[in-house]
Structure 1
Amino acid sequence: MLHLKADEQLFTKAGDIKLGIIHYEGIEAGNIPSMLVGRLQLYTENLHTELQTKALTEYPGIAASRKIFKRTGADPSKHRPSVEALYRRMKKEPSAPTGNSAIALNNFFSLQYEIPLGIYDAEAIKGDVFIKIGRDTDSYEGLNGRINSLNGIIGTFDEDGPFGSPYVDSVRTSVHDGTKEALQVVYFHDDHSTDQARKMLEAISKMFLQVHGGDSSIYLLSHENLKLDK
């Protein structure tokens, strides 16, 4: 049974944010289908061209994510939101999508919607999931090859500690070609209404399932809805 809970203090500090949760089951994640490669490549090339004449500060989603980091106690210039890091990479070079299809699609959603997303192998998650602001004692090995502190950053935790954030995801719960069950966390900012967030979650889930098969369940955590059980 899936149990997720958000700390009430998170919303007191971060503002009227919302946390989208998509639970995928029975998926087939592996190499990116050739048809999807072409679509993602075209998107990143167009974005790269746009970024040559448009500043990152002009993207509302990036600006909103930076504000949330500041509110929760993190320095967004030192610990950039993952969406900003992706845009910076695209500005330098429109890298071709490679590797695992779930990760590639997760990055595409982040670029498209201008928000951080995390995706995790659900079978690697131990027990209940709790989302809160990290402290200086909270850290993990990240996909960026470093030990990352979550001090002042929103973090996803299980019984073994933190495993994800809108900054960088962990090695411990990373998805791979054998992943059959995944948990996706979507970090909406306070400019998103509940209706907008739900529609975006439905669109994300629909495209993800078209590529990977399986089934999904969609949830939305907010200040009014701190807990969910499945």
Structure 2
Amino acid sequence: MNVVVGQDVLSKLPSSKFGIIHYKDIIVGTSPQMLKGRIRLFQESLHLDLEDKDMKEISGVAEWRAVFKETGTDPSRYRPSVEALYRRIKKGQFLEPFNSAVDLNNFFSMKYEIPFGVYDADKIIGDVTIAVGDETACYEGLNGREIKLFKMLHMKDEAGSFGSPFVDSRRTAVSEESTSALHVVYFKPSMQSGECEEMLSAISEMFLQVHGGTSEYWVLN
């Protein structure tokens, strides 16, 4: 699978870095009880950590709010997905298990303070480009709403837009029928390439422990 960074992203976000993991021959299902327990405990701990903390004090949130501003997106109106997760946890609205791929994706986002996206690779058509949206870019979001991506960083294939660090699309959602997946990691721009590689290795290893299969990964910048 070919994934490229569009020229509009390179010019607006010269320090941006993205992690790409392509999984094959995976089995997605209900999260193992051990994983459910670990995610629940992590949320409880995070809830306590966030009680007296402003969102802007969290480095990943602060950096991604800045990224949104650089492309022309108002981060107070359209929050980075990791900030939306943290706000839920701060209120004690813990995430309920969905499926093993989505649960791990949310766990990684909370753990590393950055947006993540996981997509059914078989539902992606052709090559993938990371771009900044024009006035026509949109999709039906996982929340059931039409997501307009004007001036917003997002992923697109030959069929159109399908994912972003805001809300992902229904079209490429991972389900228990998925056997291959594309994992996109929206790194903090301040991270070094070596640090990004180490994170991708750890993410890939844990994902494969739960789902089996194989993976290849790389950093785009």
What TM-score does the superposition give when structure 1 sets the normalisation length?
Answer: 0.94
Equivalence for 2:3: 4
Aligned: 1:155 with 2:159: no
Alignment partners' CA distance in 1, 2:96 and 2:27: 18
Equivalent position SS for 1:23:
strand
Query: CA contact under 8 A between 1:68 and 1:189: conserved in structure 2?
Result: no
Equivalent position SS for 1:89:
helix
- Cα deviation per residue 1:57-91 (whole Å; 9 max; x = unaligned)? 11000000000000011111111100101101111
Equivalent position SS for 2:94:
coil
Pairwise CA distance, 1:190: 1.6
Range with bigger deviation, 2-11 or 71-80:
2-11
Alignment partners' CA distance in 2, 1:195 and 1:92: 35
Range with bigger deviation, 142-151 or 90-99:
90-99
Equivalence for 1:180: 179
Equivalence for 2:217: 218
1:1-230 equivalences in 2 (<5 Å):
2-222=1-221
Alignment partners' CA distance in 2, 1:38 and 1:3: 36
Equivalent position SS for 1:220:
strand
For 1:126, the aligned partner's letter is I
Query: CA contact under 8 A between 1:37 and 1:97: conserved in structure 2?
Result: no
Once superposed, what is the RMSD of the aligned Cα atoms? Answer: 1.0
Alignment partners' CA distance in 2, 1:43 and 1:154: 29
Equivalent position SS for 2:156:
strand
What TM-score does the superposition give when structure 2 sets the normalisation length?
Answer: 0.98
Alignment partners' CA distance in 1, 2:191 and 2:107: 19
Alignment partners' CA distance in 1, 2:158 and 2:59: 35
The number of aligned residues is: 221
5+ residue gaps in structure 2? Answer: none
Equivalent position SS for 2:189:
coil
After superposing on structure 2, the runs of 4+ consecutive aligned residues of structure 1 that deviate more than 6 Å are none
Residues 96 and 130 (structure 1), Cα distance of their counterparts in 2 relative to 1, 3 Å cut: closer
Query: CA contact under 8 A between 1:48 and 1:94: conserved in structure 2?
Result: no
Alignment partners' CA distance in 2, 1:61 and 1:24: 25
Residues 54 and 179 (structure 1), Cα distance of their counterparts in 2 relative to 1, 3 Å cut: same
5+ residue gaps in structure 1? Answer: 223-230
- Cα deviation per residue 1:32-51 (whole Å; 9 max; x = unaligned)? 10011111110000001111
Alignment partners' CA distance in 2, 1:49 and 1:136: 41
Equivalence for 1:225: none
Alignment partners' CA distance in 2, 1:165 and 1:48: 25
Alignment partners' CA distance in 2, 1:148 and 1:9: 20
